[in-house]
Homo-oligomer: A and B are copies of this chain.
Amino acid sequence: MSNKRRVCVVITARPSYSRIKTALAAIQAHPNLELLLVVAASALLDRYGHAVRYIEDDGFPIAARVYMVLEGENPTAMAKTTGLGLLELATVFDNLKPAVVVTVADRYETLATAVAAAYMNIPLAHVQGGEVTGSIDEKVRHAVTKLADLHLVSSAKAAARVIRMGEDPATVHLTGCPSIDLAAEILADPPLNFDPFVRYGGVGQVPDLAHGYLVVMQHPVTTEYELARRQVIETLYAVADCGLPVLWFWPNVDAGSDGTSGAIRTFREQAQPTHIHFFKNMAPTDFLRLLYNSRCLVGNSSVGIRECAFLGVPVVNIGTRQAGRDRAANVLDVDYERTAIQAAIRQHLAAPRPASDPLYGDGGAGARIAAVLATAPLRIEKRLAY
């Protein structure tokens, strides 16, 4: 083995890849770091966007792959997926012998990464702790904070919260979020330079995007998963009548996504919408470029709160999934209710474009994360600071 610090990053889902990609590149380029990339869970699966293809296309070598998602898309399956991941990531870490493990954000299965590293006495770095949201992510995120030894946070408020939870301030580093690094690339060169229908296919009519379009991305909310079907129907009817073409993205893997998917399929059969096109996935930068050039994002994705703050894209944020998250002026919050959704869309379309807000980062997060990983003391002993 070389003397470089072996940094193992575990990516478990399509959105997590966007949230760590520039850090991966910076780790790979750093003279004192060696990248060990593990791709697991829905990041390996075709029906959740097959992030592994983008990872390979971007030239990152993969040290191990771990299939771990249980079918069922219900809370029992979520728990078992995490258990399986913990079992297997332990073996992966035992064989790879990393000096530090990096886990990203707060999806349920990331707790498997965190527990495996913590129990195996491997220092754990957590990217994007200290934020506040709704649902199970909230519990996961703060539990990971309590298992982590290094905190690489996106905002000053997040840093303050991690410290208030009792973490040693010396271990908390304000790096910004790597997803904003990607958004910064778009701001530097914004035109929509590809045809999304040609490049990504998808299903449904092919509307003309020349006069503006909406983007929709709505995930099921796990602790209310039986309602997922009813909730998405409100959005479907709201955007069906908005007068603009709609580019709709399927949800990622979570309890309840079958409810969401089923509702969308039924709607397509029954309403035969003519100006909604459905995509499964898109390369992160293509997706951000599409967002930048849209008139509005509708749904409950955290992209609306984070990247769109920096991109200055108007967002109609539906329901409780992003509740508690710090937000810039680009966001209007509404309930699962079609007339409210429509009114918010109209309000955005009538207003000037919001300014770019560096709330979640300024474009330099990846490099800062690599720098911290290369130089921070790697300790595994900690104790509540009060």
Contacts and interface: CB of A to CB of B under 8 A. Distances in A.
A195 interface: no
A345 interface: no
Contact of A78 (B46, B47, B95, B119): B119
Given A84-B84, A138-B383, A386-B164, A111 B115 contact: yes
Interface string A371-386: 0000000001111101
Interface in A224-265: 253, 258, 265
A221 B382 CA distance: 14
- This chain's copy number in the assembly: 4
A120 B70 contact: no
Contacts of A139: 118, 146-147, 382
Most B C-beta atoms less than 10 A away, residue of A94, A132, A323:
A94
A45 B46 CA distance: 19
A384 B132 contact: yes
A110 to B, nearest CB: 12
Contact of A79 (B116, B132, B136): B116
Contacts of A80: 67, 84, 86-87, 90-91
Contacts of A69: 70-72
A383 B203 contact: no
Contacts of A94: 65, 67, 76
Interface in A78-128: 78-80, 82-95, 108, 111-112, 115-116, 118-121
Given A45-B71, A67-B76, A75-B121, A138 B223 contact: no
A209 interface: no
A205 to B, nearest CB: 11
A26 B86 CA distance: 35
Interface string A43-87: 011110000000000000000111111111011111110111111
Given A46-B258, A146-B146, A386-B164, A65 B95 contact: yes
Nearest to A160: B386
A339 interface: no
A108 B78 CA distance: 20
Contacts of A275: none
Interface in A163-182: 164-166
B223 A79 contact: no
Contacts of A75: 119-121
A362 to B, nearest CB: 25
A5 interface: no
A208 interface: no
A318 B253 CA distance: 35
A327 interface: no
A86 to B, nearest CB: 3
Q: Which 9 A-B pairs have the closest CB atoms?
A: A83-B86, A83-B87, A79-B90, A142-B146, A79-B119, A69-B71, A143-B146, A143-B143, A75-B120
Given A88-B88, A145-B146, 6 more contacts: A69-B71, A80-B87, A82-B115, A83-B112, A146-B146, A223-B380
23 contacts: A44-B72, A69-B71, A71-B253, A75-B121, A76-B90, A78-B119, A78-B120, A79-B90, A79-B119, A79-B120, A80-B84, A80-B91, A82-B86, A82-B119, A83-B86, A84-B84, A88-B88, A108-B119, A115-B115, A135-B381, A142-B146, A143-B147, A223-B380
